[in-house]
Amino acid sequence: MSAVLTADHEQPGAFASIIGQEAAIKRLTAAAAAPVHAYLLKGRQGNGTYAAALGFAALVLSDGLDGVAAVRARRLAIEALHPDVVVIEPEGAALRVEEATEILRAAQLSPVEGPRKVIVVVGVDLIQEAAVGRLLKLIEEPPASTIFVLLAEHVPPEIITIASRCVTVEFGSVAPQVITALLVAEGASPKRAKIAADASGGDVDRARLLSTDEAVAVRAELWRSIPPRLDGRGVTVWELVNQVRESMDGAQEPLVARQESELVELEARIERTGERGAGRAALVARHKREIRRLRIDELRFGLATLARTYRDQLVESHDGQLLGALDAIQQTAEALVRNPNEVLLLQALLLDLGAERRR
């Protein structure tokens, strides 16, 4: 192991932004000394998988370097600006054949600065069926100089074979008390920090957004108000779905504000350094994914709130018919992994809940 990598092991600056993932970071730090061809980081991006992928790349690409060269390599890798770090993200809701072709093209190019290149593939669990074969063949027969780091929130059946060719590193949910402490340290009030941590589902990035969101309690109350308002009429379902989607639009505002700030900072850096186009396309693509992920998280939050409302009713009334409503909510939550149309998903659920109520 090089002196640089040893120093990073003692002071893991490459992973400084990640909390609550000590086991995963320990595995990646050790792996960077003698990396294999492919890793799968499994977990929500808000819990550090993307940052960990870039931190791992920073350790790999700075190994063997000293002084200023090592610092530069780590900094550029962490910012996804190193010429030997390639980040490929879906432009839409799925990783398409076009992106799989781009991965293949990038893998075939020689590293620019050193003996290795790291290709980070975001959202491999969203891969289209037509692209699976291409990515699998590449993972099975990788160029010797290329290391793949695949990111997936879960492992659906279609990528099990791909996952089996990788070393899997798990990123679990972060404990609410850990997130609360972080938010307080970052300036949130203890009350706001606890509310955000409890509503985040163990996702650190989401907790940070919620800690600046004044309307999270209002959105929770909207979801709790749904059951008694269902009257069997389609127009009521339409109105409720519109209200939920409007609340989700409002929930985006803190994220959009942060994204706009990031773009301003990037443009300022480009102006300062003259690095035209440095990372802008990747940043815009990441922003689109963040918004999609936020809306899915909002749906998860709302469905969990709705389920708690029905469970409370079940405890009070012992009405077995409420089990049908809980089952419908659970099925809807499971469907979120397929990136469904949110309007159709919500309409179908509320129609089902209305029908359950009339039985």
Inform me whether the pLDDT recorded for 41 exceeds 90. yes
Inform me whether the pLDDT recorded for 8 exceeds 60. no
**Which pLDDT value is given to residue 117?**
96
Top pLDDT among 353 and 12 is at 353
In the predicted model, what is the mean pLDDT of the chain? 87
Inform me whether the pLDDT recorded for 11 exceeds 50. no
**Which pLDDT value is given to residue 358?**
61
**Which pLDDT value is given to residue 292?**
85
> Average pLDDT in the 116-144 region?
91
Inform me whether the pLDDT recorded for 225 exceeds 70. yes
Domains detected in the chain = 3-170 (3.40.50.300), 213-358 (no CATH)
CB 84 within 8 A of CB 114: yes
Q: What percent of the chain has pLDDT over 70?
A: 94
Top pLDDT among 94 and 359 is at 94
Q: Tens of pLDDT along 254-311?
A: 889 889 998 898 888 777 777 665 567 778 877 887 888 889 889 988 998 899 899 9
Model confidence band, residue 58 (pLDDT cutoffs 50, 70, 90): very high
Which of these ranges, 3-17, 71-85, 188-202, 309-323, has the smallest mean pLDDT? 3-17
Of 146, 141, 139, give the one whose Cα is nearest residue 167. 139
Strand-pair partners of 40: 150, 168
Of 78, 76, 75, 31, give the one whose Cα is nearest residue 53. 78
**Which pLDDT value is given to residue 331?**
94
- What are phi and psi for residue 13, nearest 5 degrees? -60, -25
**Which pLDDT value is given to residue 275?**
63
Whole-number Å distance between alpha carbons of 282 and 310:
42
Q: What is the 3-state secondary structure (H, E, C) of the chain?
A: CCHHHHHHHHCCHHHCCCCCCHHHHHHHHHHCCCCCCEEEEECCHHHCHHHHHHHHHHHHHHCCCCHHHHHHHHHHHHCCCCCCEEEECCCCCCECHHHHHHHHHHHHCCCCCCCCEEEEECCHHHECHHHHHHHHHHHHCCCCCEEEEEEECCCCHHHHHHHHCCEEEECCCCCHHHHHHHHHHCCCCHHHHHHHHHHCCCCHHHHHHHCCCCCHHHHHHHHHCHHHHCCCCHHHHHHHHHHHHHHHHHHCHHHHHHHHHHHHHHHHHHHHHCCCCCCHHHHHHHHHHHHHHHHHHHHHHHHHHHHHHHHHHHHHHCCCCHHHHHHHHHHHHHHHHHCCCHHHHHHHHHHHHHHHHHC
